[in-house]
A and B are shown apart, each in its own frame.
Chain A
Amino acid sequence: MSMPHMTPAELRQHATFTALMWAFSYPGRPQRLPAAGLAAFVAIGETLLDLETGFFTPHDDLVPALAATGGRPLPPIHAPYQFYPQLTLAELDLLVTAPLGTYAEPDRGATLVLGCGFAHGTPLHLSGPGLAQPLTITVARLPDELWRARATVAVYPLGWDLYLVDGDQVIGLPRTTRVEVG
């Protein structure tokens, strides 16, 4: 029997998954994705989506690529995976309806993938699991209202799990991470 090897798609998805896994394990630490920009969103999409799950994105260019995974397009109130490459205030109204999970099934809380910039912007003070010490990161191009919504809409163990994407960098903010703005 020959040794099975990785196809190019498998290689890409493995690299993406590894970045996502460590991003949630060490919140606030940027991890490298095998693609940048909008392609990074597609890479995350093909790693997580197939016909057993669904997605939402308000970004028209992204819809065909994500739908190609077999994932079902769903309204934001139902979609377990949501992609916002440029989150606007108007889109935030959609985002806040995303599923939070239930006490019986907190894992049904949505995963939100958000485009932003890490070089400068609003300082976010992070603490919680995965952080040996509190850590401060800066995030641009995300409305501050997002953090207020995140803090008020859900109480742990319910909540959203966030991936922030800038270029080919991804930072994870799982629901356990406390975020203080300013």
Chain B
Amino acid sequence: MRYFIWLTFLLALLWLGLSGVYKPLLFILGGASIALVVWLTERMEVLGAEHDPGALSWRLPVYWLWLIGQVVLANIAVAAAVINPRRIRPRMIEIDAPQHSRVGQVTYGNSITLTPGTVTTRLDGSQGRLQIHALLPEAISDLEAGEMERRVCWLEGPP
């Protein structure tokens, strides 16, 4: 039930933000759309542990801020490599994804892909292995140092 209240709230926020025209007719249409979407979601049974909008905790904004800082740093490194392409040392590596849930592993993989200079090419969920294509040696040593891994584990919280 908590899922549906959260979903209704987020959808209402989205409608109000996107419409910008506040008239009774549009409120009725919006309410009908939200009811339809919530009903469809319930019928499709997609709202479960992996799709819970209410699972967003206070840790998420903190993690995003840190991630944006990392993205900016990695961007500067890759931009320098574009200007001087002799610096690139492309390599394929494999690292562990020790997160205990699928959402955690996917978050880790997507964070790695979002950071320029590293792209996750394969995620083996059952063994918790990530295959990564990396552009620069600095990016590889950063990944192997495990800062991002610890942050994602922290974001995920205890099992």
Is B truly associated with A?
no
Chain A residues with CB under 8 Å of chain B are: none
